[in-house]
Amino acid sequence: MRVVAVYPGTFDPPTNGHADIIERASKLFDNVIVAVGKNSHKTPLLTVDERLEALTEISKPYKNVTVESFEGLLVDYAKDKGAKSIVRGLRAVADFDYEFQIAMVNRKLEPEVDSVFLMTRWEYSFLSSSVVREVALLDGDVSTMVPDPVLTILKQAVARRLKG
């Protein structure tokens, strides 16, 4: 039996921390689906297509990783994909409080899907998409915060936003 996991997020933009979790999850599961959530209540910097493109490039070294987008409840998506695990990255204790709540709600909605938490590597513990987005929008150097394929896409999205 193949063990499928979903690694969900908005990934706006994908960071080195996200790439780290993708790499490590690929070693733990037979198949990993990196799932870009579409949220109509947020105004992302990168389009869904840009995030899919960036994550596809990041995931190329891992033959067991695919990238998709989804809408609706994560547990419904996971169940439809045959996933038994939802992978979430943790940077600090503050992340755990939020992730614990979400994991318990997901378990209540779908008891057959478990949450698996991976601690990010120490060197990425300060990274979040919102911090990277803010630095990029203020013309700061984010080249050490995102994988190379993301940098070009991110620069184009910032230029588009600033033209506005």
Residues 6+ apart with CB under 8 A from 145: 15, 16, 127, 131, 132, 135
- Of 42, 63, 108, 163, the catalytic one is 42
Decide if 42 is catalytic.
yes
Query: By percentage, how much of the chain surpasses pLDDT 70?
Result: 99
Could you list the beta-strand ranges (E) of the chain.
Answer: 4-9, 31-37, 65-70, 85-90, 114-119
Tens digit of each residue's pLDDT (9 = 90 or more) over 13-38: 999 999 999 999 999 999 999 999 99
Domain limits of the chain?
Answer: 4-163
Active site residue 91: yes
Long-range contacts of 101-108 (CB under 8 A, 24+ apart): 106/74, 106/75
Cα–Cα distance between 130 and 125 in angstroms, integer?
Answer: 13
d(CA 155, CA 32): 28
Joined together, the tokens standing for residue 56 give 């596809």
CATH class of 4-163: alpha beta
Could you report the per-residue pLDDT of 91-144, keeping only the tens digit for each? 987 789 999 999 999 999 999 999 999 999 999 999 999 999 999 999 999 999
Mean pLDDT of the residues in the chain: 95
> Catalytic pick from 24, 79, 91, 107?
91
Mean pLDDT of 46-75: 97
Known catalytic residue at 41:
no
